[in-house]
Chains A and B, each alone.
Chain A
C-alpha cells in the first residue's frame, strides 16, 4: 500500500481551497491502491481504470465530506462504492462485451508488483499472486467485492455492509463463500505446481 504522504493533511486543505495540484499529489500517492482495489473488484483493467478515474473525480468533488482519519480508507470507500454501483448497473444491463466478463484473459499485461527479491522469488511470488488474482476474478461479482474489501483492503464487516448496502449476515456468508471459492481455486493451482512452489509445508 502506498505510504501516506507526510503532508497529507496539508495537501487536503490546499485541495479544499481549490488547488488541483495539491489534490493531484494525493492522486499520485494513492492511485495504485485505488486502481488495485478497482481492478480486483471489477475483474479487468478497462473497467478498473474507469472506476479509478471516477473515484478521484468524486473524491475531489466531495472532499469537504472528508472528516479526518485515514484518507486512504476514505478513498477506498469511494472506490468500492463506485465499483459497486457499476456492478449493479451491469447486473441490470448484462455485459455486452467479452471483456466485461470475469475471467476474460483480455488484460493487456497484468500490472505486476515491484518487489526487491531475488529473481527466483519474484517469479514464485508473481506466479502465486497471478494465480490468486485469477482465483479472485473467477468469483461472482458480489462475492468478489466483499472478499477484496475484507481480505485485501482490510475493511470491517460493518464497513462492507454499509458500503454495499446489505446486512452483516449477507456480508459474512458472501465472504465465507468467496474464501471457500478462492481456497478451492488455489488448491487446484498448487496441485499443478512443483512442491517447491507450495507455501504450506505438508
Chain B
C-alpha cells in the first residue's frame, strides 16, 4: 500500500462515517459510486477499516493495582457530618419527633373528650360545696356565684404534656381532697425524653417544679377546707405555658389564701430554693386562714377575671403584692382593691387558650420539625 496521503479530510470523514453506517442513503450511494470509480479511495477505505478493526481487538490492559474502595474513600464525606446537624437529621430524631407529635396530638384529642366529661362531672360537686364552679373554660366563669379564679402564670417550655395529667389529679383532689402530692404522670417522663434531643427540650425540671407547686397549693387548700384547684394549661405560641388555677373554696378567706398562695408561687423565680421558701412561708398562712369556720352564706361574687394582655414585667409587681397580701390580714374584699386582688387580676388576665388547641398546635409544630429534618436528610 502506498503511503501517499491524497484523500481530503472531507472524503475521510465520509469514509469514516460510511464504516460506521452513519451516512444517509443518498450520501452512501454517492460514495459507493465514487468507490467503484476511484481505486485510491477504495484503498483508503480498506486501510481505515483495518485500523478500526485493530482498535476493536485491542485487549484491555491489566490494571497496575487493585482499585477496590476502602471505607475511608467513600466514608470521608459521611463521617465528618457529625454534631448537631447529624443528630437532627438522623432518622431516629425524625422518628422520635414524629412519635412525640402523634402522642401530643392524641393527648390533645383525649383531653378534648375528657374535658367535656370532667366539666360536667365535677361541676355538680363544686356546686354542692360552693354553689358554682366552672373549669377550663373562661367563658363559664361568669356564671359562677362564689368563685375565686386565679391564673398562675408559669414560664416554662412549651411542654403541655404534664398538664394533662395535672387536670386529672386536680379533679381527683377535688373529691377526695387528699393532702398528698401526686407524682407527675408517667406521660410526662416520656414526653420529656421524646423531646429532649430537639428544640423543645430544656425545661423539664422547671415544669416538674411547677407541677409540684400547684399540687402543693392544691393539697394545702384541700386539707383545711373543701376547695378545689384545677391546673389548666393554656399558653402562648412562644413556648410559654400558662397555668390556670381555678380555686373554688367555701370561704373567702380560703379563697384569699389560695389566691395569695398561687399568686406567690406564680411569681417565684424558677430556682428551686426560692420556690421552697415561698411555699414554706405561705403554707402556714393558708392553714391559719383555713381554721376560720367555714360559712355557708352566699359570698360576694367576685368579678370574673378580665382578660387583657399584661407585660411579663408585672410578675415582679405581682410577687410584691402577693407578699404584701400574705403579710396583711389576708382578707380580700371585692370593694376595696386589695393588693392580692391586683395581683390576681394581673395574673389572671393573660389570654387563655384551650389545652387541646395548644396540644394540637405543639403536635403540628413537632410534625413540621420532623418533616424538615427528614427533608434535610434526603437532600444531603
Contacts and interface: CB of A to CB of B under 8 A. Distances in A.
B57 to A, nearest CB: 9
A22 to B, nearest CB: 11
B67 A179 contact: no
A202 B68 CA distance: 47
A183 B46 CA distance: 11
Contacts of A183: 47-48, 51
Interface in A17-39: 20, 23-24, 27-28, 31-36, 39
Nearest to A56: B67
Interface string A122-134: 0000001100110
B13 A173 contact: yes
Interface in B48-92: 48, 50-52, 54-56, 58-71, 73-74
B74 A186 contact: no
A187 B55 CA distance: 14
The SS class assigned to the A binding surface is helix
A13 interface: no
- Say which size band chain B's interface belongs to: 35 or more
A35 B67 contact: yes
A1 interface: yes
B3 to A, nearest CB: 6
A82 interface: no
B61 A184 contact: no
A184 B63 CA distance: 29
Contacts of B74: 20, 57, 60-61
Contacts, number: 129
A188 to B, nearest CB: 8
B375 interface: no
A182 B55 contact: yes
A175 B60 contact: no
B64 A49 contact: yes
Given A157-B22, A176-B16, A179-B52, A28 B3 contact: no
Contact of A45 (B12, B58, B64, B68): B64
A31 B22 contact: no
A163 interface: no
Interface in A44-95: 45, 49, 52-53, 56-57, 60-61
A194 interface: no
B17 interface: yes
A151 B59 contact: no
Contacts of A187: 1, 3, 47
Contact of A176 (B17, B61, B67, B68): B17
B271 interface: no
Given A53-B67, A152-B55, A110 B61 contact: yes
Interface string B92-116: 0000000000000000000000000
Nearest to A109: B64
Interface in A111-152: 111-115, 128-129, 132-133, 136, 147, 150-152
A111 B64 contact: yes
A132 B60 contact: no
Given A35-B61, A151-B56, A180-B12, 12 more contacts: A20-B70, A36-B60, A56-B68, A111-B63, A129-B58, A176-B16, A180-B9, A180-B48, A183-B51, A187-B47, A199-B50, A200-B50
13 contacts: A27-B66, A27-B67, A27-B68, A28-B66, A49-B65, A56-B68, A60-B69, A60-B74, A110-B61, A132-B54, A136-B55, A151-B52, A180-B16
